Structure 1
Amino acid sequence: MKRNQWLSLFTLVCVLALTACSSEGGKTSVKIAEVTRSIFYAPQYVALEQGYFADEGLEVELQTTWGGDKTMTALLSDDADVALVGSETSIYVAARGANDPVINFAQLTQTDGTFLVAKQPNDNFKWEDLIGSDFLGQRKGGMPQMVGEYVLKQHGIDPHEDLNLIQNIDFANIPGAFTSGTGEYVQLFEPQASKFEAEGNGYIVASFGEESGHVPYTVFMAKQSFLKDNEDTAKRFTSAIYKAQTYIQEQPPEKIAEIVAPYFEDVDKELLSSSIERYKSQGSFAENPILDEEEWKNLKAIMEEAGELPEDIPYEELVNTTIAEDVMAE
């Protein structure tokens, strides 16, 4: 046999050997970028802690990227394979004419996750109490801010005319700014909202999630090319999330709090439990990973109301339900 033939045979044997090793004992690595750290994302942490990803042969690396813009940058620059972020970001990317659009493939939460926190207690809060107040807002064009504006307008309040709207604080620094004296009201996720209440730094007076209806608030998304080249990985990933979603629906908040506690080391477990109960009671955790068309329409209506919808992009272009449907059928 000629030398080149020997080399070709040797290369083939090596490739087959490596493939065999990978299928027997190797795990597929998946990097997730989450937009913030919140008990709102409890199903994700359950999937990690209960070994659902590992059971699917996945080794998941989780990073918190603090803000929709930073999260999407991580995804587009391949610092992450999957992003957990609001669906509005996929619309922004597509509207810029992306050659490799970002596709929503597994929904995690289905309502807004923020609560209106006041500096002073108010057992008889009315939305009109906000008029003329200093309101510490969120990032322009992000889901918390857009949903907040949508809800305020539903109550006859123009956020840009009737409030002193403060929007020059970075997302990660908003809680600290509020405790330092900036703003009379602020939108906060759990468990931060309940933690503020326990510490006397603020008081929950209303829920934006209860007011705004179902939206694809946080969704797992990936570049179209990733889903095409790694369809099996995406299915296994979604399967792990679906198991966690089912677990969340079936188990009491106290048990879930025990499982996710390692992700919130500075938060009391009783407070974690009450935060989970608050989200469960208002239906914030999606029961399955399918993002339906009605939710997509609601999202676009909220974006349009906020003046942030750059283009009316059809549901079919940026949402893949086939992966979730296949997982649920199995």
Structure 2
Amino acid sequence: MFKNKLMVLLCLVFMVSACSQSDETTTENKGNSGGKAVKLTFTEPARLLSVAPLYVAIEQGFFEEEGIEAEIVSGGGGAQVIASVLSGEAQFAVSGPRSMFTPLDKGEDLLAIQSLNSALTYQISLSKQYQKKKSVSKDSSFENRVASLSGATIGTNLVGDSGDVYTRYLMQLHGVDPDTLKTVKLAGDGSKIGGMQEGIVDGGIASPPMGLQAESKDVGEIVINTSEEPMYGNMVWEAVFAKKEYLEENHETSLKVVRAIGKGMEFTRNNPREAAESIVSYFDGIDVDILEESIIGLKDTFKGYGEMNQEAWDNAQDPLVEFGKLSGVSTKQDTTEDVIWTNSYIEEAFKK
């Protein structure tokens, strides 16, 4: 009887030990051991060219080099991004800072470890008819171009979205009443271009390549690059973030993610044509030449390996708080380094 109990106890000890070893291998060690790659899911609000370095890192094999099999779940906006990360369906989010602020306000422990862009990437395109009406063009002074938004009806993905908020704040900065702007929900680049063509809207707010597409169809032209505004020229945009608990428990994997994306940023910046060709399948119906030209326009925002600074976080947060009724962001977060963001993963991943 005693011998039987002893055998059962030994079997249980062996099973627990085996399970513990299996769990450890699954999280951190498979990528280094030459075995199966670590599978990671990234969630993004929509397919965005400002996120190009992530796509390039996948297509150029930078994740594979790190022993990571990366999958992207796209769509659903910022709310879906947060739901996916908090539920554990995705390990990492790539989205504008606004996606972080509301859950942070509710006590969620999130941390940004990289920013794919060092500036706001939105462009405001205006139809040919509206430019004629306002006597404004891309060659007008910046003040006049911003002033031309007074009385405009502009298409955006969602009324009150980040494009809407940052445009209104831009107008306010330059003494133009933001309430004189009317925004209309036109999701997707095609809808905005079609809206301009039909005279439903006077223009559209979007990140590239929408503006160049409008120009190629002779519907309108890019009149404002929001990064021309100094405040928006130093801004966290399309941040890579995750739950702090996950980052702490999977430190080595997180370093590999930062390293792969950092290489993607460097490659995209230095090889815009090759980058465009490698990710053209991500953007159905868009000509590779337009993608290349858009990437060239964005390349200065793919700065370094994605390092951030406190001012860039303040510049992202302040307009959202100022227009809290639209954005849903009412509380200012502490933007001191190592609170909601850190460069430590980049510094460790790329240390010489």
What residue in structure 1 maps to residue 342 of structure 2?
A: 320
Q: CA deviation at 1:324?
A: 1.5
Structure 1: segments with no counterpart, 5+ residues: none
- Equivalent position SS for 1:32: strand
Please tell me whether the aligned partners of residues 266 and 302 of structure 2 are also in contact (alpha carbons under 8 angstroms): no
Determine the C-alpha separation between the residues in 1 that align with 2:76 and 2:21.
42
- Alpha carbons of structure 1 residues 49 and 173: separation in structure 2 relative to 1, 3 Å: closer
Structure 2 matches for 1:166-177, cutoff 5 A?
166-167=183-184, 169=185, 172-173=187-188, 175-177=190-192
What residue in structure 1 maps to residue 11 of structure 2?
A: 7
Q: CA deviation at 1:54?
A: 0.9
What residue in structure 2 maps to residue 190 of structure 1?
A: 208
Corresponding residue to 2:176 among 157, 162, 186: 157
Please tell me whether the aligned partners of residues 209 and 284 of structure 1 are also in contact (alpha carbons under 8 angstroms): no
- Equivalent position SS for 2:43: strand
Is 1:259 the equivalent of 2:278? yes
- Alpha carbons of structure 1 residues 66 and 198: separation in structure 2 relative to 1, 3 Å: farther
Return the letter of the residue paired with 1:111. A
Determine the C-alpha separation between the residues in 2 that align with 1:254 and 1:245.
14
Determine the C-alpha separation between the residues in 1 that align with 2:94 and 2:18.
40
Return the letter of the residue paired with 2:254. A
- Cα deviation code 1:32-76 (max 9, x no counterpart): 111221221121111001111111111111111242222222222
Structure 2 matches for 1:59-74, cutoff 5 A?
59-74=69-84
Determine the C-alpha separation between the residues in 2 that align with 1:268 and 1:173.
16
What residue in structure 2 maps to residue 40 of structure 1?
A: 50
Q: CA deviation at 1:17?
A: 7.4
- Alpha carbons of structure 1 residues 24 and 5: separation in structure 2 relative to 1, 3 Å: farther
What residue in structure 2 maps to residue 105 of structure 1?
A: 113
Q: CA deviation at 1:141?
A: 5.5
Corresponding residue to 1:286 among 303, 308, 331: 303
Please tell me whether the aligned partners of residues 269 and 296 of structure 2 are also in contact (alpha carbons under 8 angstroms): no
Structure 2 matches for 1:88-99, cutoff 5 A?
88-98=98-108
**Larger-gyration structure (1/2):** 2
Determine the C-alpha separation between the residues in 2 that align with 1:41 and 1:14.
38
Determine the C-alpha separation between the residues in 1 that align with 2:310 and 2:93.
21
Is 1:223 the equivalent of 2:216? no
What residue in structure 2 maps to residue 237 of structure 1?
A: 257
Is 1:56 the equivalent of 2:75? no
- Alpha carbons of structure 1 residues 294 and 130: separation in structure 2 relative to 1, 3 Å: closer
What residue in structure 1 maps to residue 126 of structure 2?
A: 118
Please tell me whether the aligned partners of residues 59 and 278 of structure 2 are also in contact (alpha carbons under 8 angstroms): yes
Q: CA deviation at 1:304?
A: 3.4
Q: CA deviation at 1:177?
A: 4.9
- Cα deviation code 1:78-106 (max 9, x no counterpart): 221111111122121111233xx221111
Q: CA deviation at 1:320?
A: 2.5
- Alpha carbons of structure 1 residues 138 and 148: separation in structure 2 relative to 1, 3 Å: farther
Return the letter of the residue paired with 1:32. F
Q: CA deviation at 1:213?
A: 1.9
Q: CA deviation at 1:204?
A: 1.4
- Equivalent position SS for 2:111: strand
Corresponding residue to 1:210 among 228, 231, 234: 228
Determine the C-alpha separation between the residues in 1 that align with 2:215 and 2:189.
16
Determine the C-alpha separation between the residues in 1 that align with 2:248 and 2:190.
39
- Equivalent position SS for 2:120: coil
Please tell me whether the aligned partners of residues 41 and 108 of structure 1 are also in contact (alpha carbons under 8 angstroms): yes
Please tell me whether the aligned partners of residues 192 and 204 of structure 2 are also in contact (alpha carbons under 8 angstroms): no
Q: CA deviation at 1:310?
A: 1.8
Q: CA deviation at 1:237?
A: 0.5
Structure 2 matches for 1:297-312, cutoff 5 A?
297-307=314-324, 308=327, 309-312=329-332
Return the letter of the residue paired with 2:119. T
- Alpha carbons of structure 1 residues 298 and 195: separation in structure 2 relative to 1, 3 Å: same
- Equivalent position SS for 1:79: coil
Return the letter of the residue paired with 2:340. L
Structure 2: segments with no counterpart, 5+ residues: 132-136
Q: CA deviation at 1:16?
A: 4.8
- Equivalent position SS for 1:298: helix
Corresponding residue to 1:273 among 292, 311, 327: 292
Determine the C-alpha separation between the residues in 2 that align with 1:70 and 1:16.
34
What residue in structure 2 maps to residue 26 of structure 1?
A: 36
What residue in structure 2 maps to residue 295 of structure 1?
A: 312
Return the letter of the residue paired with 1:118. L
- Alpha carbons of structure 1 residues 136 and 14: separation in structure 2 relative to 1, 3 Å: closer
Return the letter of the residue paired with 1:191. P
Q: CA deviation at 1:138?
A: 4.9
Determine the C-alpha separation between the residues in 2 that align with 1:329 and 1:135.
45
